[in-house]
A and B are shown apart, each in its own frame.
Chain A
Amino acid sequence: MKAAVPYTFRTGAIVDAESVNGNLRQMAADVGRNLSRRYTYCQTTVPLTGMSSADNIASRTIFFRDPSGSLDAIDLVAVEAVIYSATGATWTVTVTNETVTDSFTINTAGATAKASGGITRLFSLSQATAYSNALWSPTSVTGYRISLSASAASTITAGYLVLHFRGDRANNASHAGYTPTLVQATTSSAGSILDTQLTSFENAVLRDTNNASDFRVECYLARNFATAQTWNVPSGSLRDGAASRCAVVGNVGESVQFAVTPNTTTVNANGTGGVVFGAITPGNRTDGPTTSANDTIVTLTPAGGTVELAYVFVVWR
């Protein structure tokens, strides 16, 4: 976006109120356009490979919550699903948030034949709910909940969800633009007025910056695993860690250590009927996606047995 003002003031030229006001009007229009560009899209894949219709509902459900009630929103805008599985079953993908539930179905086409479906709908979350690291019932947790079920016994040979998110930079911010107070030709204190106007203009611009939250979301998941699994995640522009939400489904005595550069946290499973959540803050990364030293290394290390399901949503800002 090119921000410019129509009038440039040069020594020796006449400064009149109309020129000054012309600049203020242009700046007001520019800040309005900038503020209106509040949404940033991203997508992430959530593997389903190995999921069985006989699995506990906690293992057939993926949860995602906004990183904090004090930050801006992340809207879920579309969900795709791809399933490879033996014929004879219909999988239903149900997407729920605090107020909306919708679903779509996919008829399996074969273990190596692609079957797919999707839904496009805006699922938003309120910002009031505080995050809690606690055991949650898979049917009552708030946030985005995407669950799968099948009409007949079925195991997903290969498959994944593609979640499309929209970060809303201004959801939690004052999004008022800037309305200039214009200078009059008879104004006796133009300097003071202009100081006020330029300060107001900057405040309007930086309302977004104060919420510097062009959120993007990535998911890393392991299912039925007994050894550590690692992802090398290239860096890029604006890869500042906002939050990560970890989840574990497993037997009592099992745990998963989540490592998201440079921090770690361990979450203990609490029985396969529920989901235990944890939190971890990813570090800020230097832009440089072709340099592996800038990578974020995500590692899920199980302990105590074969863990049914573990995943982490990493949120960047």
Chain B
Amino acid sequence: MALTPFTGTVTQAALRNNFDDKTTTLTNNAVAGQSDHVVSVTRLALAIADDISLRCVDFTPADDYELRVLRLTLEDGTAGRTVTATVTVTDGDTTFLLDKTVSVTGTTIIGTAHANLDLRTTTGDRLRLLKGVPYRLTIGAPSAGPVTRAQASLVLRSRRRTG
């Protein structure tokens, strides 16, 4: 669709086309205001005995964020070790995550491996991290270790708003 300059008599079809063209421009602009960013926590040499303080991050969002993906990246020189990354509400009120268990488990390979919990599917859970609610992103203890590098990442979507 494109704007057709009016010439001579203004027809209904030209009016309809041109109004549609402009409202589409506006709609596209509004939709473009959906943008993603990443929050992550990384632990090098992740060991079974690591205190949780070394492998978690707590945060309280300043805006509502749609939770798109929970990614766990594992880098190691040994295959077969498992690690789980989890998102929880810090004060334990699970209703803020709809009582869902939001976690993903990965298994090391010799090299770098990724595991994803994809929350973008149309038939799956759609979760939102709410402004003012304290959340925690945790890398769990490995089944064996130490794991050279473990990184848990959240892909969060924010939308433009007025203030």
Instruction: Write the residues of chain A forming the contact surface with B, with a CB cutoff of 8 angstroms.
Output: 1-5, 8-13, 15, 20, 23, 27, 30-31, 34, 36-45, 49, 77-78, 80, 82, 84, 112, 114, 116, 118, 120, 157-158, 160, 162, 164, 166, 169, 190-192, 194-195, 198-199, 201-202, 205-206, 208-209, 212, 214, 216-218, 229-239, 287, 289-290, 292, 316
Contact = CB atoms under 8 A, between A and B. Distances in A.
Contacts of B1: none
Contacts of B156: 42
Nearest to A166: B62
Interface of B: 3, 5-13, 15-16, 18-19, 21-27, 29-42, 44, 51-54, 57-63, 65, 68-69, 71, 73, 75, 112, 114, 116, 118, 149, 151, 153, 155-163
Contacts of A162: 57-60
8 contacts: A15-B10, A37-B159, A45-B59, A198-B18, A205-B22, A231-B40, A237-B34, A287-B36
B49 to A, nearest CB: 12
Contacts of B3: 198-199, 202
Contacts of A31: 26
Nearest to B41: A45
Contacts of A39: 160-163
B38 A233 contact: yes
A118 B61 CA distance: 12
A43 to B, nearest CB: 6
A119 to B, nearest CB: 12
Contact of B160 (A13, A37, A234, A235): A37
B19 A5 contact: yes
B50 to A, nearest CB: 10
A237 B38 contact: no
A8 B54 CA distance: 61
B23 A44 contact: no
B116 to A, nearest CB: 4
A236 B58 contact: no
B10 A290 contact: no
B160 A169 contact: yes
A287 B37 CA distance: 11
B26 A40 contact: no
Given A9-B12, A31-B26, 19 more contacts: A2-B27, A5-B23, A13-B12, A15-B15, A20-B15, A39-B162, A40-B161, A45-B41, A82-B58, A114-B53, A164-B61, A212-B32, A216-B35, A230-B149, A233-B153, A234-B38, A234-B69, A234-B71, A292-B73
Most chain A CB neighbours (cut-off 10 Å) among B8, B35, B61? B35
Contacts of B5: 191, 195
Given A1-B30, A4-B23, A116 B68 contact: no
Nearest to B65: A41
Contacts of A205: 22, 25-26, 29
A289 B59 contact: no
Nearest to B64: A41
A3 B27 contact: yes
B53 A8 contact: no
